[in-house]
């Protein structure tokens, strides 16, 4: 059975919320729409949902994979809980068709931006958590992202860029990489720039639609020049 939804009422039925739920409506309200209409955006819910998603996946890893130590569990979680995988989960639900966006974002087909979709997914999780409690929110997250955990376990050598750079830097006595992130642009169309430093030396710059994506891009560039 398809998980995709085509309306707010359809989404409400899919996640067990009322179609008149204020939290659900807010979860599907991008900052660009909120700015144009004077309503509340999903940014605070995204903040809460980020924590719930992290906990739900950690819960799954600890419960179903006792063979993983803290480092292994953290690595698997980082490969599952990131902008790309959350955006994919949002696409499966077709959240892009439901989330409310401003005229500029709509005109630019911004509904399909990975950062927008990932934020909408996290905000949706927060809405479920606030109205139904942790267990339904946990079950929703684990259903949406559980296959990603399985895939991550099959690729033990595929380390995320920040972890890979940190391991290399620390093994060379350079310490833990430090990231400085700045944002540019209006709230509905922000671009982030991350600068990564190893010790006092600036190594690389990365850009992305989210802080996480920019830092990952910077880490990849720094990794690529490690032997230069």
Residue pair 95/124 in contact (Cβ under 8 Å)? The answer is yes
- Bridge-based pairing state of the strands 201-208 and 191-198: antiparallel
Query: Which of 114, 128, 58 minimizes the C-alpha distance to 86?
Result: 114
DSSP state of 100: B
Coil, strand or helix: which one is 58? helix
pLDDT of residue 79: 84
Q: What is the CATH number of domain 161-224?
A: 3.30.160.20
Q: Is 43 left (phi over 0), alpha (psi -120 to 50) or beta?
A: alpha
| Other CB atoms within 10 A of residue 16 CB | 12
The residues annotated with a catalytic role in the active site are 50, 122
Collapsed DSSP state (helix, strand, coil) of residue 19: coil
Residues 94-105: tens digit of each pLDDT: 999 999 999 988
User: Which part of the chain has CATH 1.10.1520.10?
Assistant: 8-153
β-sheet bridge partners, residue 160? none
Low-confidence ranges of the chain (pLDDT < 50): 1
Q: Encoding tokens for residue 191? A: 């671009």
Q: Could you tell me if residue 128 is left (phi over 0), alpha (psi between -120 and 50 degrees) or otherwise beta? A: alpha
pLDDT in the model for residue 99: 93
Location of each CATH 3.30.160.20 domain in the chain: 161-224
CATH for the 8-153 domain, from 3.40.640.10, 1.10.1520.10, 3.40.50.880, 1.20.950.20: 1.10.1520.10
pLDDT score recorded for residue 135: 97
Query: If we measure between CA atoms, which residue out of 154, 156, 166 comes closest to residue 199?
Result: 166
Q: Quote the radius of gyration of the chain (alpha carbons, Å).
A: 19
Distances from the Cα of 20 to the Cα of 9, 93, 126, angstroms: 8, 19, 16
Cα–Cα dist 139/150, whole Å = 16
């Amino acid at each position: 059975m398809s998980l995709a939804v085509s309306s707010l009422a359809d989404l409400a039925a899919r996640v067990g919320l009322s179609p008149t739920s204020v939290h659900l409506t807010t979860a599907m309200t991008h900052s660009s729409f909120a700015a144009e209409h004077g309503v509340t955006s999903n940014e605070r819910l995204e903040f809460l949902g980020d924590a719930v998603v992290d906990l739900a996946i950690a819960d799954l890893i600890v419960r179903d994979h006792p063979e993983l130590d803290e480092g292994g569990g953290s690595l698997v979680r980082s490969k599952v809980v990131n902008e790309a995988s959350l955006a994919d989960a949002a696409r499966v639900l077709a959240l892009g068709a439901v989330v409310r966006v401003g005229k500029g974002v709509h005109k630019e087909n911004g509904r399909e931006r990975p950062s927008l979709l990932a934020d909408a997914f996290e905000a949706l999780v927060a809405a479920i958590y606030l109205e139904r409690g942790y267990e339904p929110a946990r079950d929703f997250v684990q259903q949406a992202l559980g296959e990603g955990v399985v895939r991550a376990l099959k690729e033990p050598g595929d380390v995320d860029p920040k972890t890979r750079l940190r391991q290399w830097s620390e093994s060379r006595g350079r310490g833990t990489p430090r990231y400085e992130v700045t944002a540019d642009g209006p709230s509905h169309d922000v671009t982030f720039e991350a600068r990564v430093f190893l010790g006092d030396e600036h190594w690389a710059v990365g850009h992305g639609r989210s802080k996480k994506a920019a830092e990952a891009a910077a880490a990849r560039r720094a990794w690529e020049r490690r032997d230069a």
